[in-house]
Amino acid sequence: MKISFVQNIRKYTMLIALIGIWLIFSIMTQGVFVSPRNLSNLFLQTAAVAVITIGMTLVIVTRNIDLSVGSVAAFAGAVTAFMNVKMGMPAGAAIGIALVTGLAIGAWHGFWIAYRLVPAFIVTLASMMIFRGAVLGITNGATIAPLSAGFKSIGQSYLAPGISLWIGLAVACIFVVKNILNRQKRLKFGFSVPALPIFIIKVLVVCAVIAAFFMIMIQNRGVPYAVVLVLALAVLFNFMSTRTVFGRQLYAIGGNPDAASLSGIDVRKQVMMLYVIFGALTAIGGMVLTARLNAATTSAGQGMELDVIAAAVIGGTSLMGGEGTIWGSVIGALIMASLDNGMSLMDTNITYQYIIKGMILLLAVWVDIATRKKT
């Protein structure tokens, strides 16, 4: 019946860190940082990285990596823009083509990594160069803009405040009901559960966070489409990673590849599958980015792979494999974006922005390792 305090806190370390960072920025910017307009903007800025981080988490869980996400996202964005602007295709068709492109690139990676046993680091390093070149090729070295209104809305439009309100209520209700059911199930099987008052406080706090989130969004035109997309994908992939055979096998592969293989898991096939899915996710991330900027540029997504990997790691994903959660990584992405956003508001010199981000990455991972030892 005992879940130690430290373990309980550890789960929320990064959430607490995020709140701490927000507090600091709020004070330093005299409240501008927490204004509805800025927060809404922050979430929108996070969206592209968050979508890709969701997939990167699972890739790292299987002890692999993908360095090509920046280039591939830019390429997918450029493909969409090319189809949408130069070929005059409707947004839907352009999106479809970009998704297929992402799947194909993922399959290419999966083939080399899973079936030809070339280290993921090398395969995706090669792709990082290949697709950066491809971006230059397809855009002819020039920015493609502007995109059609339909496509642009992915990155720039908002759900009406009324609808946002209802969605917020629904999310809160689902959360409460799910937690109560889950608690009853655990009690039935005699599993450890937190004491009732702590449970109630936890649920109330999360409900308050949900309410605050939607209230802020509604004060500023409603929830952005891109943020809805991130939340939907996070829910979907969280379910996939914890409840499906595929997801569970990915964690076993990362935790102990030999044991997984001897337990009858087709390691190569599952890794291949993961890269295919990840290719599509990267393409989606690229489209969100393109839609938000309303342009496909040659330098889009440069350095994005580092933000994505850092976000996953800050969110608790272990590079040793077998460990990491989708929601943790989404929070990690939010931390990275908050640093960018906050420091830009403060007009911090770009030199220090990089240095501070690097130090925080190092610190976050060290804190994680240090607390892990004690438990």
Partner 1 sequence: MNEYILSMKAISKEFPGVRALDNVTFSVKPAEIHALVGENGAGKSTLMKILSGVYPHGTYGGTIEIDQTEKRFKSPGESERSGIAIIYQELALVKELSIVENICLGNEIARCGVIDWDASYRLAEKSLKGVGLNVNPEFPISYLGVGEQQLVAIAKALSKDARILVLDEPTAALSEEESAKLLKILRDLRAKGVTCIYISHRLKEVFDIADRITVLRDGKTVATHDKKDLDENKLIALMVGREVTNKYPKTTRTAGEVVLEVRDWTVFDPDINKTIADVSFKLRKGEVLGMAGLIGAGRTELVMSFFRFWGRKVKGKLFLEGKELELRDAGSTIASGISLASEDRKRYGLVLDEDICKNISLASLDKIASYSVVNVIDEIRSAERYTKELRIKTPSIEQKAGNLSGGNQQKVVLGKWLMTTPKVLILDEPTRGIDVGARVEIYNIINELVDKGVAVIVISSDLSEILGVCDRILVMHEGRFTVDLPVKEATQEKIMHYATGGK
User: Which position among 11, 37, 86, 243 is part of the footprint of partner 1 (CB under 8 A)?
Assistant: 243
Applying CB under 8 A, which part among 27-35, 111-119, 256-264, 274-282 lies near partner 1? 256-264
Residue type, 185: K
178-181 long-range contacts, CB within 8 A, separation 24+: 179/203
User: Which position among 30, 189, 196, 347 is part of the footprint of partner 1 (CB under 8 A)?
Assistant: 189
| C-beta closer to partner 1: residue 262 or 350 | 262
Could you give phi then psi for residue 68, rounded to 5 degrees?
A: -95, 0
CB of 190 to partner 1, least distance (A): 7
User: Which position among 175, 199, 213, 246 is part of the footprint of partner 1 (CB under 8 A)?
Assistant: 246
Residue 252 interacting with partner 1 (CB under 8 A)? yes
Q: What is the DSSP string of 101-148?
A: HHHHHHHHHHIIIIIS---HHHHHHHHHHHHHHHHHHHHTTS-B-PPP
Residue 317 interacting with partner 1 (CB under 8 A)? no
Applying CB under 8 A, which part among 132-140, 154-162, 246-254, 338-346 lies near partner 1? 246-254
Residue 255 interacting with partner 1 (CB under 8 A)? yes
How far is the C-alpha of 89 from the C-alpha of 75, rounded, in Å?
17
Applying CB under 8 A, which part among 30-38, 97-105, 216-224, 245-253 lies near partner 1? 245-253
Residue 327 interacting with partner 1 (CB under 8 A)? no
Residue 251 interacting with partner 1 (CB under 8 A)? yes
203-211 long-range contacts, CB within 8 A, separation 24+: 203/175, 203/176, 203/179, 206/175, 207/172, 207/175, 207/176, 210/168, 210/171, 210/172, 210/175, 211/168, 211/172
How far is the C-alpha of 59 from the C-alpha of 319, rounded, in Å?
10
User: Which position among 88, 141, 190, 197 is part of the footprint of partner 1 (CB under 8 A)?
Assistant: 190
Residue 192 interacting with partner 1 (CB under 8 A)? yes
Residue 260 interacting with partner 1 (CB under 8 A)? yes
Q: Is 296 helix (H, G, I), strand (E, B) or coil?
A: strand
Task: Compute and round to an integer the Cα radius of gyration of the chain.
Answer: 21
Smallest Cα–Cα separation from 241: which of 95, 370, 86, 55?
55
| C-beta closer to partner 1: residue 88 or 116 | 116
Size of the site for partner 1 (CB under 8 A): 26
Distances (CA, A) of 97 to 157, 160, 181, 204: 22, 29, 42, 44
Residue 323 interacting with partner 1 (CB under 8 A)? yes
Return the exposure string of 50-68: e unless at least 16 CB atoms fall within 10 Å of the residue's CB, then b: bbbbbbbbbbbbbbbbbbb
Beta bridge partners of 91: none
Residue 262 interacting with partner 1 (CB under 8 A)? yes
CB of 247 to partner 1, least distance (A): 9
CB 134 within 8 A of CB 296: no
| C-beta closer to partner 1: residue 142 or 320 | 320
CB of 251 to partner 1, least distance (A): 7
Applying CB under 8 A, which part among 28-36, 221-229, 241-249, 337-345 lies near partner 1? 241-249
Applying CB under 8 A, which part among 60-68, 143-151, 200-208, 249-257 lies near partner 1? 249-257
Residue 249 interacting with partner 1 (CB under 8 A)? yes
Q: Is 297 exposed, middle or buried (0-12, 13-18, 19+ CB in 10 A)?
A: buried
Lookup: tokens for 224: 């952005």
Residue 76 interacting with partner 1 (CB under 8 A)? no
Interface ranges with partner 1 (CB under 8 A): 185, 189-192, 243-246, 248-249, 251-252, 255-256, 258-266, 322-323
